[in-house]
Amino acid sequence: MQKSFTRKFLSNSTATLYVVAFFVACFAIFLGISIGSLSIPFSSIMNILFHTWFGVPLDKGIPSNIVQVVVSIRLPRVTLAFLVGASLALAGTAFQGLLKNALADPYTLGVSSGASVGAVFVLFFGIQIPFIGKFTLPVISIVTGLCTLFLVLAFARAVERKMSIETIILTGIIFSAFFSSLISLMIALTGEELRQIISWLLGSVAMRSWDYTLMILPFFVIGSLLLLLNSRELNAFAFGETVAANLGVDVLRRKLVILIGASLLTGAAVAVSGTIGFVGLIVPHITRLLCGANHRRLLPLSLLYGGSFLVLADLVARTIISPRELPIGVITSLIGAPIFALLYFKRMKRKTG
């Protein structure tokens, strides 16, 4: 009887977590569409979306320019921000679960910097690979991000066989600094592309059409599925690789799949929005406090909260000094850097005390 009650309680609490996260995501999306130089009521947004998608008659009080603002300007921007935030949060959750530490994320591991080098290289030389066309940017970004991750892990293993998280993070910082110098070199050599590269590096989803959403979408779907389908394995990795192997996990194969999935998400996000730091650090940590460390819940909830967080961060970026806009990467860094410092301080204090 008690077991049945406990199971029912846990099931209800899990459902509540998903419902709350879903409503937070919906509210963030509608708020992102509603607020701007022109305020649009939620009811009008709903009517416009139903009119666009399902052919529902449009209210006579809604002018055509409002429809254009919602469908062609704000909705693609908010959708892209949600996908980028969800991608970075999922990747951060996977890295933290695999490395068994809440300090790991695409930004601190150097993956974002590696992906940025690939993307800037494409922009600098105007490269377009035959057969994949506009997908050249995300593909190159993903490949360089994945290569960077393997280089960081290999270098950390060469320095210290146990590969402590401090060694991995310091290695990630070294690689980030090196790749930043490469990017600076390309910027110094560039001419008219300078403005485009710098604005891209600061991180933004402004003036992004539906093309960018379509660019990230296939990588988001594949990367998310790879991680969500390996949530049980991520739980096993929390007890160490030896225990995971004893539980029947193909350690090498699953690690590779998880790393590829996280790198797909990171590279695609960097390709369409530039470098946006700390989302993969903040969101998984806060979500873990809300729902625990079970990756079957943690991954989907991080997806929803990551998307919501970046939509709201973008809203702050474009309204705090309106009519001018701040790069979204500035907002996430202002929030994320103090949290990262606090987490690192607590970890070192526990280790020494």
Q: What is the pLDDT of residues 191-203, one digit of tens each?
A: 666 666 777 777 8
Q: How much is the pLDDT for 5?
A: 46
Selected from 1.10.260.40, 3.20.20.140, 3.40.605.10, 1.10.3470.10, the CATH number assigned to the domain covering 2-352 reads 1.10.3470.10
- Quote the radius of gyration of the chain (alpha carbons, Å): 21
Q: How much is the pLDDT for 74?
A: 95
Closest CA to 348 of 44, 43, 101, 172: 101
Closest CA to 106 of 199, 154, 175, 178: 175
Q: Which residues contact 37 (CB under 8 A, 6 or more apart)?
A: 322, 323
Helix axes 2-34, 75-99, angle to 10 degrees: 140
Q: What is the pLDDT of residues 55-74, one digit of tens each?
A: 889 998 888 899 999 999 99
- In b/e form, how buried is each residue of 272-288, taking b as 16+ CB within 10 angstroms? bbbbbbbbbbbbbbebb
Domain boundaries, the chain: 2-352
DSSP H helices, the chain, are 2-34, 42-54, 64-68, 75-99, 111-125, 136-159, 165-189, 194-201, 210-228, 231-237, 241-246, 251-273, 279-291, 295-319, 328-352
Residues of the chain with pLDDT under 70: 1-12, 162-165, 191-196, 351, 353
Return d(Cα 25, Cα 129) in angstroms, integer: 36
Q: How much is the pLDDT for 50?
A: 93
